[in-house]
């Protein structure tokens, strides 16, 4: 029957619907009127140009004669060309989408190649920001270097202060010392956000002005940790004891809820927030949490 083919054709060229809506869709190649002739001619075009099928000669001749009788040659040619063009466009788009993850990995690898020798830090940051957005769109897991240079990472305060002191030793620029002092007010690990991004951009600019970039200085590499690495490094004080936050985060939520309350347990989903919440708990709850940690 014509109905299936027409449905497929109209997904490509919906503007043809008013011209074929009166066609007899119960037959294979109806030719009783102008709508029938056009619908049958489009079906022949669809089968030959898009499906690559062979249409028997008898059918071709009958359809061609009907097209000529109803003076449809020009409109059949126009709609067929549009139909084929849109089909090819969809195929190319589909191929592009299917290859996107592979191309993403290639671009990620190309960026990694730029990490050796002299590094154009500003260029790496721009590449990383684009790759991070692509990774989110494609559902890919970005590499560590993409996370660092896009600042989707945590700042290790101790490493950053040591890096700043090294810069001061070479340049005698007091600004490095002032930045180190300001950084001393922060937690041992500063979560990704505007502060981390601004800090890294500022230091990179100062490095470039002092020619330190040519000596291999790279604040992104020196002091940024991925969330996974930061979680492993982050420690939290519980009473007089200190534990890796990862150990507490691994405790089943129903245990924490039973002993600390549902609200507290719910707030421990993010490592940085968990550290702040836990260290703010009263002494009696620290005692309870110590017991829970040791029993798990």
Q: Do 140 and 169 fall within a single domain?
A: no
Decide which of 229, 244, 278 is a domain's last residue.
Answer: 229
**Dist CA 83 CA 91 (whole Å):** 12
- Residue 93 domain flag: no
pTM exceeding 0.85: no
Decide which of 31, 51, 86 is a domain's last residue.
Answer: 86
Q: Do 171 and 184 fall within a single domain?
A: yes
The edge-to-edge listing of strands for the beta sheet with 189-190 is 189-190, 154-156, 224-225
Q: Do 145 and 162 fall within a single domain?
A: no
Class of residue 67 by CB neighbours under 10 A (exposed 0-12, middle 13-18, buried 19+): buried
Q: Do 133 and 173 fall within a single domain?
A: no
Grade residue 177 by pLDDT with cuts at 50, 70 and 90.
Answer: very high
* Of 274 and 115, the one with more pLDDT: 115
CA dihedral sign, ordered 257, 261, 262, 267: negative
pLDDT at 95 over 60: no
- Residue 34 domain flag: yes
pLDDT value at position 281? 80
| Count of domains forming the chain | 4
Average pLDDT score over residue span 272-276: 74
Q: Do 252 and 268 fall within a single domain?
A: yes
Whole-angstrom CA distances from 4 to 11, 17, 254, 257, 286 are 11, 14, 55, 58, 70
Q: Do 189 and 253 fall within a single domain?
A: no
Decide which of 197, 212, 229 is a domain's last residue.
Answer: 229
203-213 pLDDT, tens digit per residue, is 999 999 999 99
Domain that residue 251 falls in: 234-295
Q: Do 242 and 257 fall within a single domain?
A: yes
Average pLDDT score over residue span 74-99: 80
């Amino acid at each position: 029957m014509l109905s299936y083919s027409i449905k497929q054709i109209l997904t490509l060229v919906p503007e043809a619907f008013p011209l074929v809506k009166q066609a007899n869709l119960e037959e294979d190649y109806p030719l009783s009127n102008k709508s029938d002739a056009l619908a049958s001619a489009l079906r022949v075009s669809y089968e030959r140009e898009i499906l690559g099928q062979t249409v028997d000669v008898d059918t071709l001749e009958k359809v061609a004669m009907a097209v000529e009788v109803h003076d449809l040659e020009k409109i059949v040619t126009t709609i067929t060309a549009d139909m084929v063009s849109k089909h090819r466009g969809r195929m190319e788009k589909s191929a592009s989408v299917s290859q996107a993850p592979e191309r993403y990995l290639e671009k990620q690898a190309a960026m990694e190649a730029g990490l050796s020798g002299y590094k154009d830090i500003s260029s790496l940051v721009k590449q990383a920001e684009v790759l991070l957005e692509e990774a989110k769109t494609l559902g890919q897991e970005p590499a560590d270097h993409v996370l660092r240079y896009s600042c989707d990472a945590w700042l290790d305060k101790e490493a950053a202060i040591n890096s700043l002191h090294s810069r001061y030793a070479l340049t005698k620029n007091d600004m490095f010392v002032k930045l180190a002092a300001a950084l001393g007010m922060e937690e041992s690990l500063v979560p990704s956000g505007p502060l981390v991004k601004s800090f890294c951009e500022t230091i990179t600019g100062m490095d470039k002005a002092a020619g330190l970039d040519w000596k291999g200085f790279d604040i992104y590499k020196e002091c940024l940790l991925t969330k996974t690495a930061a979680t492993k490094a982050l420690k939290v004080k519980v009473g007089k004891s200190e534990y890796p936050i990862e150990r507490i985060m691994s405790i089943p939520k129903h245990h924490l809820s039973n002993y600390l309350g549902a609200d507290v347990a719910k707030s421990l989903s993010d490592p940085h927030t968990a550290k702040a919440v836990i260290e703010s708990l009263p002494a009696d709850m620290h005692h309870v949490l110590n017991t829970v940690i040791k029993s798990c």
